[in-house]
Amino acid sequence: MTEATSVVNAREAPTAPPVRRRGAWAVLGVVPFFAFSALFLILPIGFLVIGSFQDSAANLTLQNYADLSEPFIVEAYGNSIEISLVTAVVGGIFGFLLAYAVILGGLPGFLRTALMTFSGVASNFAGIPLALAFIFTLGNVGLVTKFLLDALGINIASAGFNLYTKIGLEIVYLYFQFPLMVLIVAPALDGLKRDWREASENLGASPAQYWRHVALPILTPTLLGAVILLFGNSFGAQATAYQLTGGTINLVTLVISSQMRGDVLHNPGLGYALAMGMVVIMAISIIAYALLQRRSERWLR
- Using CB under 8 A, which residues numbered 10 to 69 contact another protein? 10-12, 26-27, 29-30, 32-34, 36-37, 39-41, 43-48, 51
If binding is defined by CB under 8 A, does position 5 make contact with another protein? yes
Task: Give me the 253-292 binding string for another protein, x by CB under 8 A, dash otherwise.
Answer: x--xx--x----------x---x--xx--xx--x------
The Cβ of residue 211 has, within 10 Å, a number of other Cβ atoms equal to: 15
If binding is defined by CB under 8 A, does position 92 make contact with another protein? no
- Using CB under 8 A, which residues numbered 191 to 210 contact another protein? none
Task: Give me the 216-245 binding string for another protein, x by CB under 8 A, dash otherwise.
Answer: ----------------xxxxxxxxx-xx--
In the complex, minimum distance from the CB of residue 97 to another protein, in angstroms, rounded to a whole number: 5
The β-bridge partners of 86 are: none
In the complex, minimum distance from the CB of residue 261 to another protein, in angstroms, rounded to a whole number: 8
- Using CB under 8 A, which residues numbered 95 to 114 contact another protein? 97-98, 100-102, 105-107, 111
**Closer by beta carbon to another protein, 224 or else 275:** 275
**Rounded CA separation 156/162 (Å):** 8
- DSSP 3-state of 300: coil
Amino acid at 57: A
In the complex, minimum distance from the CB of residue 61 to another protein, in angstroms, rounded to a whole number: 18
In the complex, minimum distance from the CB of residue 159 to another protein, in angstroms, rounded to a whole number: 19
User: DSSP assignment, residue 104?
Assistant: T
**Closer by beta carbon to another protein, 115 or else 292:** 115
State the DSSP H helix or E strand holding residue 212, giving kind and residue range, or none if neither.
Answer: none
**Closer by beta carbon to another protein, 180 or else 224:** 180
In the complex, minimum distance from the CB of residue 113 to another protein, in angstroms, rounded to a whole number: 8
In the complex, minimum distance from the CB of residue 217 to another protein, in angstroms, rounded to a whole number: 22
Q: What is the per-residue burial (b if ≥16 Cβ within 10 Å, else e) of 232-264?
A: bbbbebeebbbbbbeeebbbbbbbbbebeeeee
Total residues binding another protein (CB under 8 A): 90
- Using CB under 8 A, which residues numbered 150 to 179 contact another protein? 174-175, 178
Task: Give me the 114-133 binding string for another protein, x by CB under 8 A, dash otherwise.
Answer: -xxxxxxxxxxxxxxxxxxx
Amino acid at 276: M
If binding is defined by CB under 8 A, does position 136 make contact with another protein? yes
CB of 99 closer than 8 Å to CB of 189: yes
**Closer by beta carbon to another protein, 133 or else 218:** 133
If binding is defined by CB under 8 A, does position 249 make contact with another protein? no
**Rounded CA separation 51/136 (Å):** 42
**Closer by beta carbon to another protein, 113 or else 162:** 113
CA distances from 166 to 84, 86, 183, 244, 250 (A): 11, 10, 26, 11, 10
In the complex, minimum distance from the CB of residue 290 to another protein, in angstroms, rounded to a whole number: 8
In the complex, minimum distance from the CB of residue 2 to another protein, in angstroms, rounded to a whole number: 10
